[in-house]
Amino acid sequence: MARNAYESILKTLEKPNGGGVFGKYYSLPALNDPRIDKLPYSIKILLESAIRNCDEFQVKSKDVEKIIDWENTSPKQVEIPFKPARVLLQDFTGVPAVVDLACMRDAMNRLGSDSNKINPLVPVDLVIDHSVQVDLARSENAVQFNMELEFQRNKERFGFLKWGSNAFHNMLVVPPGSGIVHQVNLEYLGRVVFNTDGMLYPDSVVGTDSHTTMIDGLGVAGWGVGGIEAEATMLGQPMSMVLPGVVGFKLTGKLKDGVTATDLVLTVTQMLRKHGVVGKFVEFYGEGMSELSLADRATIANMSPEYGATMGFFPVDHVTLQYLKLTGRSDETVSMIETYLRANRMFVDYNEPQIERVYSSYLELNLVDVEPCLSGPKRPHDRVLLSEMKTDWHACLDNKVGFKGFAVPKDSQSKVVDFSFHDTPAKIKHGDVVIAAITSCTNTSNPSVMLGAALVAKKACELGLEVKPWVKTSLAPGSGVVKKYLDKSGLQNYLNHLGFHIVGYGCTTCIGNSGDLDESVASAISENDIVAAAVLSGNRNFEGRVHPLTRANYLASPPLVVAYALAGTVDIDFAKEPIGTGKDGKDVYFRDIWPSNEEIADVVQSSVLPEMFKLTYEAITKGNPMWNQLSVPSGTLYSWDPTSTYIHEPPYFKDMTMSPPGPHGVKDAYCLLNFGDSITTDHISPAGSIHRDSPAAKYLLERGVDRRDFNSYGSRRGNDEVMARGTFANIRIVNKLLKGEVGPKTIHVPTGEKLSVFDVAMRYKTEGYDTIILAGAEYGSGSSRDWAAKGPMLLGVKAVIAKSFERIHRSNLVGMGIIPLCFKAGEDADTLGLTGYERFSIDLPSSVSEIRPGQDVIVVTDNGKSFTCTIRFDTEVELAYFDHGGILPYVIRNLINAKQ
């Protein structure tokens, strides 16, 4: 190991009041560089990491200088290496990550090298936030039932992760039933400042779920990466990133009474989407910060993927320290954190004069201007004021099919369908709510909105309101702490009475695990083409994600979820129309059940206590009986079961040699799919239910798996055979080759046959043809899903040509050896007259040294068209990955070639 070039600024951190020392740290003030004090706090974290890891090999002094000179270098798109303090895996993405690590060990073993080199060098926190299928939603026994069902279905997957926790060093596995990964990270795993063998440094994290950004609310720099990139980071590979611009977002004022943190985050999301923050950091500051609780900040930070930023960062201040104490961190730990950050000028004290920081651009919001709102019906940034909801809903019925339209004919917009629900007469019409879910890490970390929802339930119950029995209601907290404070407040009973029983502690409705609707409701919707609605407190509402039968999906605060469940429809003006009829026969209005901010604050103060967090997280180290009883094999090499439909050895490394394959162009490729804008990773690789007529279903049936045990694509991410068949399997996908037809099929161009995407892709592979994908803007937006890149690679896709890419998905494509190309500004497939029936050739040099990041390349079609694209290898390191056929083969070859 080379000596650190910055040893001279290594200082000792004394404990307050002469109590000894905490350890050593690299002192930023000791550099005596006036540029550092003006840096955004988020950039200071990148700077400290570069200084601490500066070995003049992986991280060089010139990289440190680039970061110090951020004001001048960031507009130039310079490349820097970054070594985060730890990696966070969620089990949906953690399983394929552990599969890949196991495969890499096998590959190194086959290549005659020490396979035990494949061990995380960076601490890895893996949280099994098992995805809960919402069954028995209105039952007191829901939690136990769903947990038993999860273990029954996922025993093999859980056992594999338990094996991984023993086989790989430096990996902590949090057992299922503990909570949603991001909330566990916030309440328990987040260190804020590490003390590793006496070396102090800021916590930073990359995670395999895009909502890793929730931790930014705690002052920990964190963002989502693909599983592929996370695996390389675990193995000591620095992340190559473009030094980002930072948007300074000033908050002033205070939220009005009746306005929630969810309303604020939906407002911020819309503002930042409009401003344009893709690839940038957003850093919040201003006097309004003192009005935001840590949970409010975490709610805003969580939604970073929805506004497109790499992260939404809240520097550490007194509010952060109070939260750390509330959640059970020791006084000694909190003292260390504050002392270190103050010494390194990374702590914000609003009682002191503030040094004005330089930002790339500026935004400002007075919190008093925030109004109650929702987002939908199909995207998180399509905000609708609550006061305009009814008008907007009718406009959506009228509008042509799109993000804000359903094109329902005028004469059928008011139709009412009669059906029988368990022998009880029932009616359903457009806009009726059939799913109302308080779910997702976004909001369930926030006691103010959770207890606010419970107060709405209390007032509604006291007035005699009920939720119609065919509305599927559920409550899925991100942490066991929520149950404790709901119970202590005495309010859980009111939620139970309205059907909001706790169904489990994990991802549910937000990721498509709503469970089945009652058969009578499902039939009434599908047979009469009803545009039914879901209202959920999650962060994603893309079409087809929440439930196949809810075409309108609205994001809302937990209290609003309860209100809409009671109203039973989104076609209502809460200011003028009653929600229902009370037990005294009088109309009950929204204002009658809505709690004041003071009421909420009082119950939060009396019900949310530090010992609740301590008790909840003590249980993590003990596990639970079902987890503890799992029997797993010993040994560091995994014994693959070829008959398993959950864990399967993928083919990535089977024919790998020590020589890199070199760059590849594309010759006479067919277009597999032709897309428009906003194709999400859910469209590319859905995580929800496996459709009964899909290629994945056929594969499982052929292997004796009963339909009721299909589980979800998310739960089968450890099996490449299922996931390849599930690629582009979203039932709402729109492929222009199908000329208006919706669904997961495409055209085999040589014959004109319409088949499943998987079948067409396999036919092209058998025939020896490469394929490409045409797409519009924001290709790959949504969750940071590595299978959205792995799946296309296994289907034989060699390049994606799009108007623009979502940040993480573009890097995942690079990581799997797929070429990302962008049309020139103002151009796309339509303006260039491309139909998708052409053959496409992309000529690249045979040596990677002849390719430059961001260079222009020519694409030629067989009918004589020619157009210029920008190749989206953004850094020299990404070109090296491409040369090796992907990031993981690159890492293996480097490990084998490294000097012993």
Is it the case that residue 141 has pLDDT exceeding 80? no
Residue at a domain's end among 48, 82, 116: 82
Residue 763 located in a structural domain: yes
Please report, for the domain that includes residue 423, its CATH number.
Answer: 3.30.499.10
Q: What six digits make up the tokens of 524?
A: 């009434």
Is it the case that residue 567 has pLDDT exceeding 80? yes
Band of pLDDT at residue 136, cut at 50, 70 and 90: low
Over residues 33-64, the pLDDT tens digits come to 999 999 999 999 999 999 999 988 889 999 99
Give the separation between CA 648 and CA 836, rounded to whole angstroms. Answer: 34
Average pLDDT score over residue span 830-855: 94
Element (H, E) at 618: helix 610-622
Give the separation between CA 474 and CA 433, rounded to whole angstroms. Answer: 13
Q: Is 689 left (phi over 0), alpha (psi -120 to 50) or beta?
A: beta
- The owner of tokens 């010494």 is 343
Is it the case that residue 133 has pLDDT exceeding 70? no
Residue 351 located in a structural domain: no
Residue at a domain's end among 38, 66, 82: 82
Residue 414 located in a structural domain: yes
Q: What is the DSSP letter of 754?
A: E
* CB of 501 closer than 8 Å to CB of 475: yes
Pair (603, 703) in one structural domain: no
Over residues 352-388, the pLDDT tens digits come to 988 889 999 999 999 999 999 999 999 988 999 999 9
For the chain, the domain total comes to 3
Is it the case that residue 700 has pLDDT exceeding 70? yes
Task: Provide, rounded to the nearest whole percent, the portion of the chain with pLDDT above 70.
Answer: 99
Task: Provide, rounded to the nearest whole percent, the portion of the chain with pLDDT above 90.
Answer: 78
- pLDDT the model gives residue 725: 97
Pair (762, 869) in one structural domain: yes
Is it the case that residue 843 has pLDDT exceeding 60? yes
Residue 115 located in a structural domain: no
The vertex-74 CA angle with 70 and 78, nearest 5°, equals 110
Residue at a domain's end among 22, 52, 82: 82
Pair (588, 700) in one structural domain: no
Over residues 277-286, the pLDDT tens digits come to 988 999 999 9
Is it the case that residue 619 has pLDDT exceeding 80? no
Pair (693, 574) in one structural domain: no
Pair (569, 718) in one structural domain: no
Question: Of 182-191, 198-207, 873-882, where does mean pLDDT reach its minimum?
Answer: 873-882
Buried (b) or exposed (e) across 243-282, using 16+ Cβ within 10 A? bbbbbbbbbeebbeebbbbbbbbbbbbbbbbebebbbbbb
Residue 142 located in a structural domain: no
Band of pLDDT at residue 900, cut at 50, 70 and 90: very low
Pair (848, 718) in one structural domain: yes
Pair (679, 771) in one structural domain: yes
Average pLDDT score over residue span 733-737: 95
Residues 6+ apart with CB under 8 A from 629: none
Band of pLDDT at residue 2, cut at 50, 70 and 90: low
- pLDDT the model gives residue 131: 63
Buried (b) or exposed (e) across 500-522, using 16+ Cβ within 10 A? bbbbbbbbbbbbbbbbebbebbb
Using alpha carbons, select from 95, 214, 156 the residue that is nearest to residue 478. Answer: 214
Over residues 657-681, the pLDDT tens digits come to 999 999 999 999 999 999 999 899 9
Residue 342 located in a structural domain: no
Is it the case that residue 143 has pLDDT exceeding 90? no
Over residues 412-452, the pLDDT tens digits come to 999 999 999 999 999 999 999 999 999 877 777 899 999 99
The vertex-597 CA angle with 257 and 380, nearest 5°, equals 70
Band of pLDDT at residue 177, cut at 50, 70 and 90: confident
Pair (600, 683) in one structural domain: no
Pair (385, 531) in one structural domain: yes
Is it the case that residue 490 has pLDDT exceeding 90? yes
Domain that holds residue 21: 7-82
Q: What six digits make up the tokens of 679?
A: 């194709």
Give the separation between CA 423 and CA 117, rounded to whole angstroms. Answer: 64
Residue 538 located in a structural domain: yes
For 697, phi and psi rounded to 5 degrees? -65, -40
Say what the pTM is: 0.85
Pair (439, 583) in one structural domain: yes
Residues 6+ apart with CB under 8 A from 620: 174, 175, 178, 184, 188
- pLDDT the model gives residue 631: 87
Average pLDDT score over residue span 793-808: 95
Residue 117 located in a structural domain: no
Please report, for the domain that includes residue 773, its CATH number.
Answer: 3.20.19.10
- pLDDT the model gives residue 899: 52
- pLDDT the model gives residue 132: 66
For 209, phi and psi rounded to 5 degrees? -135, 140
Is it the case that residue 13 has pLDDT exceeding 50? yes
Band of pLDDT at residue 817, cut at 50, 70 and 90: very high
Is it the case that residue 520 has pLDDT exceeding 50? yes
Pair (869, 795) in one structural domain: yes
Give the separation between CA 329 and CA 314, rounded to whole angstroms. Answer: 19
- The owner of tokens 């008959």 is 643
Average pLDDT score over residue span 699-726: 93
Q: What six digits make up the tokens of 496?
A: 């139970």
Pair (724, 832) in one structural domain: yes
